[in-house]
Amino acid sequence: MTAPRLPAALLLDAGGTLIEERDARAELYTRSARRRGLEVDAPRMGRAMAAAHAALPQRIGAHFRYSRGWFERFQEHVFVRELGLAAELLPPLAEELFAVFADPATYRALPGALELCDDLRARGVRMAVVSNWSPALHGLLRGLGLGERLEFALVSAEERLEKPDAALFARALARLDVAPERAAHLGNDPELDAAGARAAGIEALLVGPPERPPRPGCASFPDLGAVRRALLERPA
């Protein structure tokens, strides 16, 4: 079997692949709720958030998932419907959370993220993010030092497409002017990332815990350092 070649372009997931919240999302929601006198712990908050996410459709009127309008409905569902917060307390709480999740200090670049981008760029690999996220992602990537290392980020809330839809991957490749067979996608979710990339004809790479069961036809790596070493060993 011929060894795989270094891709001309690498598409990258954001959350859980390149960046992560310093504190769990449910904990951040819990802190804001407690400041409004709502007695709730992180596990209960997590259940309320999961219930809201499952209940809300991808589109709410003109608002696509993870846009501000969609998140306003999500927050109303979490805090008012699920947890009983007085509706008049929601607007300032929502503004606080929008600010928290737009602040790069809420996040960190995962170990090896900057090195992966620097070393691949030195080898001529073009890189872009493809992520199911809000428009705030652009500022987060810049603030964490990743934006300058990437050509662009395609954000689902702006594109009105989300992974695993192959059309979102195809849109990124069209912007890069790179054929699918010359590209790879690195993510941390077997369905959203790996299955979506393969449906678009792109090589799928997964990064995540080593105990994750292997996925047929998809190379898996325990961390970004292992991804970097494996890719740099490939012939150009």
Q: Which residues touch 177 (CB under 8 Å, ≥6 apart)?
A: none
State whether 130 and 13 are in the same domain: yes
Tell me whether residue 138 is in a domain: yes
Exposure string (b/e) for 171-195, b if CB count within 10 Å is 16 or more? bbbeebebebebbbbbbbbbebbbb
What pLDDT is attached to residue 88? Answer: 96
State whether 208 and 149 are in the same domain: yes
**Hey, what amino acid is at 196?**
G
What pLDDT is attached to residue 183? Answer: 98
**Domain of 131?**
9-18+110-232
What pLDDT is attached to residue 216? Answer: 73
State whether 87 and 188 are in the same domain: no
State whether 128 and 220 are in the same domain: yes
Tell me whether residue 143 is in a domain: yes
Tell me whether residue 3 is in a domain: no
Tell me whether residue 4 is in a domain: no
State whether 13 and 126 are in the same domain: yes
User: What CATH number corresponds to the domain at position 124?
Assistant: 3.40.50.1000
CA-CA distance, 78 to 223, in Å (whole number)? Answer: 33
State whether 98 and 144 are in the same domain: no
What pLDDT is attached to residue 217? Answer: 76
* Distance, first Cα to last Cα, the chain: 17
Count up the domains in the chain and report the number: 2
Give me 12's structure tokens: 């990258």
Tell me whether residue 1 is in a domain: no
Long-range residue pairs from 103-106, CB within 8 A, at least 24 positions apart, any chain: 103/143, 104/139, 104/140, 104/142, 104/143, 104/144, 105/22, 105/143, 106/21, 106/22, 106/23, 106/28
Mean pLDDT by 10 residues, the chain (236 residues): 85 98 98 95 98 98 98 98 96 98 98 98 98 98 98 98 98 98 97 96 91 73 97 95
State whether 33 and 84 are in the same domain: yes
Among residues 105, 138, 172, which one ends one of the domains? 105
State whether 221 and 133 are in the same domain: yes
Tell me whether residue 179 is in a domain: yes
- On the 0-12 / 13-18 / 19+ scale of CB atoms within 10 A, 232 is middle
State whether 87 and 204 are in the same domain: no
What pLDDT is attached to residue 7? Answer: 98
pTM as predicted: 0.95
State whether 76 and 187 are in the same domain: no
State whether 14 and 31 are in the same domain: no
User: What CATH number corresponds to the domain at position 78?
Assistant: 1.10.150
What pLDDT is attached to residue 32? Answer: 97
Tell me whether residue 117 is in a domain: yes
State whether 137 and 195 are in the same domain: yes
What pLDDT is attached to residue 212? Answer: 61
C-beta atoms surrounding 6 within 10 Å: 17
Q: Which residues touch 213 (CB under 8 Å, ≥6 apart)?
A: none
